[in-house]
Chains A and B, each alone.
Chain A
Amino acid sequence: ERGADGQVNIIYWQAPSIMNPYLSGGTKDIEAASLVIEPLGRYDPTGALVPYLAVEIPTVENGGVSEDLTTITWTLKEGLLWSDGSPVTAADVVFTSEYCMDPEGGCAQRAKFDGVASVEAVDDLTVKVTFETPKPNPYGPFMGGQSPILQKAQFENCKGANASSCTEENFNPIGTGPFRVTDFRPNDVISLEANPNYRDPAKPAFATVNFKGGGDAMAAGRAVLETGEFDYAWNLQLAPDVLEQMAAAGQGEPIAAFGTLVERIEMNLTDPSPDLPEGERSTVAHPHPFLSEEPVRRALSMAIDRELLVEVGYGQAGRATCNLVPAPELYASDNTDCLTQDIEGAKALLEENGWTDSDGDGIRDKDGMKLSLVYQTSTNAVRQDFQALIKQWWSEIGVETELRNIDASVFFGGDPGSPDTFQKFYADVEMYANNFDGTDPQAYLSMYRCGNEPKPSSQWQGENINRFCSEEYDALLDELAQTGELDKRGEIAKQLNDMITKETMTIVPLVDRGRVSARSNTLGGVALNTWDSELWNAADWYRIKE
Chain B
Amino acid sequence: MLTYTIRRLVLSFPVLLFISFAVFMLLQLAPGDPMAQVPLTVPPEVKQQMREALGLGEPPLVQYWKWLVQVFWIEPQVLIDHWFGTSFSEGKLRVISWQTRSPVMDIVIQRIPQTLWVVGLAYVVGVLIALPIGIYSAYRQYSVFDQAGTFVTMIGFSIPPFFTGPLLIVIFSVQLGWFPSIYDTTHVVNDWASFKIQLQQMIMPVMVLALQTTAQISRYMRAAMLDNLNADYVRTARAKGMSEWVVVMIHVLRNSMIPVITVIALGVPAIFGGAIITENVFKVNGIGQLLITALFANDLPMVMTLTFIFAFLIVMFNLIADVLYGLLDPRIRYD
Contact = CB atoms under 8 A, between A and B. Distances in A.
A touches B (Cβ under 8 A): yes
Interface of A: 11, 15, 17-18, 20, 23-27, 103-111, 161, 163-167, 170-171, 183, 185-189, 191, 210, 212-216, 218-219, 222-223, 226-227, 229-230, 249, 407-415, 417-421, 432, 434-437, 443-444, 459, 461-463
B36 interface: yes
Nearest to A215: B283
A442 to B, nearest CB: 13
Q: Which of B31, B97, B173, B185 has the most CB of A within 10 A?
A: B31
A464 to B, nearest CB: 11
Contact of B49 (A103, A223, A415): A103
A18 B100 contact: yes
A164 B94 CA distance: 11
A434 B110 CA distance: 35
Nearest to A104: B53
A100 to B, nearest CB: 10
B31 A185 contact: no
A187 B40 contact: no
A434 B43 CA distance: 12
A414 B103 contact: no
A230 B43 contact: no
A410 B101 contact: no
Given A106-B53, A107-B50, A188-B285, A170 B34 contact: no
Interface in B169-214: 169, 173-174, 177, 180-182, 184-186
Given A24-B99, A167-B106, A214 B44 contact: no
A164 B101 contact: yes
Contacts of A437: 41
A530 B154 CA distance: 49
B289 interface: yes
Contact of A111 (B36, B42, B182): B42
17 contacts: A109-B42, A161-B53, A163-B53, A165-B96, A167-B100, A170-B100, A189-B186, A215-B282, A216-B280, A222-B181, A223-B181, A227-B177, A408-B296, A410-B33, A415-B31, A420-B31, A463-B43
B47 A187 contact: no
Given A413-B32, A414-B33, A187 B186 contact: no
A26 B38 contact: yes
A20 B185 CA distance: 23
B53 A105 contact: yes
Contacts of B283: 212, 214-215, 219
B59 interface: no
A410 B297 CA distance: 9
Contacts of B236: none
A392 B128 CA distance: 52
Contacts of A421: 31, 33
B31 A418 contact: yes
A171 B96 CA distance: 14
A435 B50 contact: no
B141 interface: no
Given A15-B285, A163-B101, A227-B173, A107 B36 contact: no
A412 B101 contact: no
A229 B296 CA distance: 28
B33 A215 contact: no
B53 A413 contact: no
B182 A186 contact: no
Contacts of A187: 99-100, 107, 285, 289-290, 293
B49 A106 contact: yes
A227 B298 contact: no
Contact of B185 (A106, A163, A188, A407): A188
Interface residues of B, number: 59
Nearest to B186: A189
Contacts of B227: none
Contacts of B42: 25, 108-109, 111
Contact of A18 (B34, B40, B99, B184): B99
Q: Which 10 pairs of residues, A with B, have the shortest CB-CB distance?
A: A106-B53, A413-B33, A418-B31, A25-B38, A413-B36, A461-B44, A167-B102, A186-B100, A106-B50, A188-B285
A452 B298 CA distance: 26
B49 A413 contact: no
A338 to B, nearest CB: 23
B14 interface: no
Contacts of B44: 414, 461-463
Given A111-B43, A167-B103, A186-B102, A413 B289 contact: no
Contacts of B37: 24-26, 409, 412
A210 B182 CA distance: 12
Interface centre among A11, A161, A214 (most CB of B within 10 A): A214
Contacts of A109: 42, 46
Contacts of A462: 44
A219 B181 contact: yes
Contact of B182 (A17, A166, A215, A407): A215
B245 to A, nearest CB: 46
A227 B107 CA distance: 30
B101 A18 contact: yes
B94 to A, nearest CB: 8
A214 B38 contact: no
A412 B31 contact: no
A437 to B, nearest CB: 5
A171 B102 contact: yes
Contacts of B53: 104-106, 161, 163-164
B260 interface: no
Contacts of B102: 18, 167, 170-171, 186
A429 to B, nearest CB: 17
B177 A413 contact: no
B35 to A, nearest CB: 6
A186 B107 contact: yes
A11 B182 CA distance: 10
A249 B31 contact: no
A210 B283 CA distance: 14
Nearest to A167: B102
Given A167-B102, A415-B31, A226 B296 contact: no
Given A229-B182, A413-B33, A24 B38 contact: yes
Given A106-B50, A106-B53, A215-B283, A408 B293 contact: no
Given A108-B38, A226-B173, A409-B32, 17 more contacts: A15-B293, A104-B53, A110-B46, A110-B49, A164-B53, A185-B107, A185-B110, A186-B97, A189-B285, A216-B280, A219-B169, A219-B181, A407-B32, A408-B36, A413-B35, A415-B32, A417-B31
A143 to B, nearest CB: 14
Contacts of A27: 39
B197 to A, nearest CB: 12
A411 B293 CA distance: 16
Given A26-B38, A409-B297, A435-B41, A183 B285 contact: no
Contacts of A408: 36, 296
Contacts of A170: 100-102
Interface string B15-51: 0000000000000000111111111111111111111
Contacts of B79: none
